[in-house]
Structure 1
Amino acid sequence: MAEKDIEQQHEEQLKGESAWAGVGKYLLHRAKPHLPPWLGVLGAGVAGEGAHLMWADSPWGAAGLTLSSVALTGAAWWAGRSASAQRRLHSAITVAAGSAWVTAAALSGPVSHPVIDLYAMGGPVLALSWNVRMVMRRNADPVGDSSDKGLLEKVGLARTKLGTPKVEPNKVTVPYALPAGEATNDDVSKSLPRIASALDVPTTAVRYRPDPGSARKGELVIVPEDMLREVIWYPGPSAPGGSIAEPLVIGVYDDGRELRLTLPQAIHLLVMGVTGSGKTEAALDVMAEVLTRRDVAVWLSDPKRGQDLGEAFGACDWVVTTQDGAALMIAAFEAVIPARQLWLGSHGYRSWEPAAAVRQDDPAHTCREDGTACGCPGMPYLVGWFEEAANTLRAVDDDAFTGIAQEARSAGASLVVSMQRASGYQISTDTRASLPAALCMGVDERDAGFALPSEVLDAGANPGAWGNKRPGYCYLVSAGVDEELWSTPSRTFRN
Structure 2
Amino acid sequence: MVERNAQRQVAELLELQLQGGSDAGGVGRYLLHRAKPHLPPWLAWAGTGIVGALGNWRWADSAAAGVGLTLASVAVTGVTWWAGKSTSQQRRLHSAITVAAGSAWLTAACLAGPTAHPVGDLYLMGGPALALSWNIRMVLRQTTDASGDSTDKGLLEKVGLARAQLGAAKVEPNRVTAPLAVEAGEQTNDDVTKSLGRIASALDLPTSAVRYNPDPASSRRGELVIVPEDMLAEVVDWQEPSNLGGSIADPLVIGRYDDGAPLMVWLPGDPEIKRNSTHLLIAGGTGSGKGETALNLLTEILSRRDVIVWFSDPKAFQDFRPLLPGLDWAAEGGTPTEVLVAAVEAVIPARTGWLGAHGYRQWVPEAAEQQTSREHTCRPDGRACGCPGMPFLVTWFEEAANTLRKMGDDAFTGIAQEARSAGVSLIVSLQRPSYDQMSTSTRASLPSVIALGCDARDEGFVLPDEVLAAGAHPGAWGNRRPGYCYVVSPGVPEDRYASPARTRSFPSRAVPVMEVLAQWAQRNGASADPVTAGAASVVAGNAYTGRTPAGAEQPAPLRMVKEDDAMVDNGLLVDPEDVDIDPEAELPGAEQGDDTPIFGQATGRKPSPEEARRLFTQALEEFESEGQMIVGPKDFMDWCDRHHLSRPWVSARLKEAAEEGRLQPTNATGRWRIVPVLTAA
TM-score normalised per structure 2 = 0.54
Q: Are residues 211 and 33 of structure 1, via their aligned partners in 2, closer, same or farther at CA, if it must alter by over 3 Å? A: farther
1:297 counterpart residue number:
308
* From 430, 435, 439, the counterpart of 2:441: 430
Structure 2 residue 231 is the aligned partner of structure 1 residue 227: yes
For residues 405-459 of structure 1, the C-alpha deviation after alignment (integer angstroms, 9 at most, x for no partner) is 0000110000000011111111111100000000111111111111111111111
Matched-pair contact (CA < 8 Å) for 2:410–2:438: no
1:22 to 1:387, Cα distance in 2 relative to 1, 3 A = farther
Q: Is the 8 A contact 2:404 2:410 kept in 1?
A: no
Are 2:363 and 1:359 equivalent residues in the alignment? no
CA distance in 2, matches of 1:418, 1:134: 59
Superposed, 1:185-334 pairs within 5 Å as 185-265=189-269, 266-334=277-345
Give the equivalent residue in structure 2 for 1:475.
Answer: 486
Give the match for residue 561 of structure 2: none
**Separation in 2, partners of 1:442, 1:368:** 52
TM-superposed CA distance for 1:397, in Å, is 3.8
Cα distance in structure 1, aligned partners of 2:465 and 2:124: 60
Question: What are the residue-to-residue correspondences of 1:71-470 with 2, within 5 Å?
Answer: 132-134=138-140, 147-265=151-269, 266-470=277-481
CA distance in 1, matches of 2:193, 2:400: 33
Q: Does 1 or 2 have the higher relative contact order (CA < 8 Å, sep 6+)? A: 1
Give the secondary structure class of the aligned counterpart of 1:430: helix
How far is 1:174 from its partner? Answer: 2.0
- Quick check: 2:404–2:411 contact (8 Å CA) kept in 1? no
Describe the SS at the equivalent of 1:399: coil
Larger displacement relative to structure 2 (394-403 or 328-337): 394-403
Aligned-partner SS, 2:487: strand
Contact 2:257 2:263 in 1 (8 A): yes
**Deviation readout 1:360-387 (Å, 9 max, x if unpaired):** 1212111111111111111111110000
Q: Which amino acid aligns with 2:317?
A: G
Q: Which has the larger radius of gyration?
A: 2
Using the alignment, how far apart are the partners of 2:211 and 2:244 within structure 1? Answer: 35
**d(CA) in 2 for partners of 1:30 and 1:339?**
92
Q: Distance in 2 between matches of 1:26 and 1:442?
A: 71
Q: 1:192 and 1:448 mapped to 2: Cα distance?
A: 18
What CA deviation, in whole Å up to 9, does each residue of 1:156-188 have, x standing for no partner?
111222222222222222222212222111111
Deviations 1:196-251 (A, max 9, x none): 11211111111112222222222211111110111111131111111111111111
Q: What is the CA-CA distance between 1:399 and the residue it aligns to?
A: 3.4
Q: Deviations 1:27-51 (Å, cap 9, x if unpaired)?
A: 579949959xxxxxxxxxxxxxxxx
Letter of the 1:393 partner, please give it. L
Aligned to 1:363, what secondary structure does the other structure show? Answer: coil
d(CA) in 2 for partners of 1:136 and 1:28? 25
Rounded to whole Å, the distance in 2 between the matches of 1:465 and 1:197 is: 16
Deviations 1:293-345 (A, max 9, x none): 11111000100111112222211111111221111111111111000011101
Deviation at 1:24, TM superposition (A): 6.2
- Classify 1:429/1:23 alpha carbon distance in 2 versus 1 (closer, same or farther; 3 Å): farther
Go from structure 1 to structure 2 and tell me whether the alpha carbon gap of 1:335 and 1:175 turns closer, same or farther (over 3 Å shift).
Answer: same
Distance 1:130 1:264, change over 3 A: same
Q: Which moved more, 1:428-437 or 1:163-172?
A: 163-172
**Counterpart-to-counterpart distance in 1, 2:409 and 2:227:** 42
The equivalent of 2:660 in structure 1 is: none
Instruction: State the SS of the aligned residue for 1:365.
Output: coil
Which residue number corresponds to residue 64 of structure 1? none
Deviation at 1:357, TM superposition (A): 1.0
Q: Please give the alpha-carbon distance, in whole angstroms, between the structure 2 residues aligned to 1:337 and 1:131.
A: 74
Structure 1 regions of 5+ residues with no counterpart?
36-127, 138-143
1:264 CA drift (Å) = 1.0
Greater shift after overlay, 213-222 or 445-454? 213-222
- Please tell me the residue identity of whatever aligns with 1:150: G
Q: 2 CA distance for matches of 1:5 and 1:32?
A: 15
**227 and 336 in structure 1: CA distance in 2 versus 1, 3 angstrom threshold:** same
The answer on whether the counterparts of 1:334 and 1:400 sit within 8 Å (CA) in structure 2 is no
Give, in whole Å, the separation in 2 of the partners of 1:135 and 1:382: 63
Q: Is the CA contact (8 Å cut-off) linking 2:333 and 2:402 kept in structure 1?
A: no
Q: Which residue does 1:73 correspond to in 2?
A: none
Distance in 2 (CA, whole Å) between partners of 1:20 and 1:219 is 59
Residues 449, 455 of structure 1: CA spacing in aligned structure 2 closer, same or farther, 3 A cutoff?
same
CA–CA distance in structure 2, aligned partners of residues 32 and 305 of structure 1: 83
Q: CA offset at residue 26 of structure 1?
A: 12
In structure 2, the residue matched to 1:490 is 501
| Residue 136 of structure 1: how far off its partner (Å) | 7.9
Deviation by residue 1:63-84 (Cα, 9 ceiling, x = unmatched): xxxxxxxxxxxxxxxxxxxxxx
Corresponding residue pairs, total = 394
Cα distance in 1 for residues equivalent to 2:478 and 2:326 = 32
| Map 1:55-70 → 2, pairs under 5 A | none
SS at match of 2:419: helix
The question of whether the paired residues in 2 share the 8 Å contact of 1:387 and 1:418 is answered with yes
Write the distance in 2 (CA, Å) between the matches of 1:4 and 1:32: 13
Matched-pair contact (CA < 8 Å) for 2:409–2:437:
no
TM-score normalised over the length of structure 1: 0.73
Change (3 A) 1:4 1:280: same
How far has the Cα of 1:490 moved from its partner? 0.9
* Aligned residues of 1:405 and 1:415 also touching (Cα < 8 A): yes
- 1:150–1:345 CA distance, 2 compared to 1 (3 A): same
- State the alpha-carbon separation in 2 of the partners of residues 480 and 136 from structure 1: 44
Residue 6 of structure 1, CA deviation: 5.1
Distance 1:30 1:195, change over 3 A: farther
Confirm or deny: 8 A CA contact 2:371 2:384 kept in the other structure.
Answer: yes
Q: Percent identity?
A: 58
Give the 3-state SS of the residue equivalent to 1:264 in structure 2.
coil
- What code does the residue aligned with 1:377 have? P
Secondary structure (helix, strand or coil) at the match of 2:316 reads coil
One-letter amino acid matched to 1:244? I
**Structure 1 counterpart SS, 2:412:** helix
